[in-house]
């Protein structure tokens, strides 16, 4: 009879995905789990600081921009307290920006950062951080300085990911992205 039991990586990535369901971010839900010796030490998901309004209830100016059509253009956020009268204008933009591609106005703390915040130092040292998506560069800096020995992501590669990955590896943090593309060879396609 074949073994139908999940691998440890699959198990902890599934827990990270489950943690992501607690997120109230209206743009992207990410979860993270810190594991030491196959024991869960901490979990985290992306969302605003405790006591602040929920992103999906209009408390995040970045969430008030349309993520697909007119990416980054203002919809209804000119009155938002974090935006006020200091709206940025991109050259050639018809409308001022309050979010979209600007993370300055995002109130969320990322899943990886939350997992690190809620783990004791001894629980981070030599541990693995499982994330439902590849970490951003800001989280990579936190991970590199936290004592985490390995990052295992379930996917979520993005433009600039290879630079973030190289940074983590330069900081002696092992990195694995388990999305089936880990050893894929890019084909030289002609356009």
Query: What does DSSP say about strands 31-36 and 39-45: parallel, antiparallel, or unpaired?
Result: antiparallel
182 an active-site residue? Answer: no
Distance CA 11, CA 9 (A): 5
Distance CA 87, CA 97 (A): 6
Question: Which residue is catalytic, options 10, 79, 94, 112?
Answer: 112
Torsion of CA 53, 67, 72, 62, to 10 degrees: 10
The residues carrying an active-site annotation are 112
């Amino acid at each position: 009879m074949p073994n139908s039991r999940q691998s440890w990586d699959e198990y902890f990535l599934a827990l990270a995905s489950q943690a992501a369901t607690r997120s109230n971010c209206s743009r992207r839900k990410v979860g993270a789990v810190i594991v030491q010796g196959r024991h869960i030490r901490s979990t985290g998901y992306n969302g605003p600081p405790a006591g602040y309004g929920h992103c999906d209830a209009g408390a995040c100016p970045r969430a008030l921009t349309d993520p697909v059509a007119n990416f980054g253009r203002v919809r209804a956020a000119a009155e938002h307290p974090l935006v006020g009268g200091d709206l940025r204008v991109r050259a050639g933009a018809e409308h001022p920006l309050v979010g979209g591609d600007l993370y300055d106005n995002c109130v969320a703390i990322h899943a990886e950062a939350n997992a690190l915040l809620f783990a004791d130092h001894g629980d981070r040292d030599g541990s693995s951080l499982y994330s439902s998506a590849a970490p951003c560069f800001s989280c990579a800096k936190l991970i590199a300085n936290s004592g985490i020995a390995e990052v295992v992501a379930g996917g979520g590669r993005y433009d600039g990911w290879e630079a973030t990955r190289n940074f983590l590896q330069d900081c002696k943090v092992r990195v694995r992205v388990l999305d089936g593309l880990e050893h894929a060879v890019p084909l030289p396609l002609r356009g």
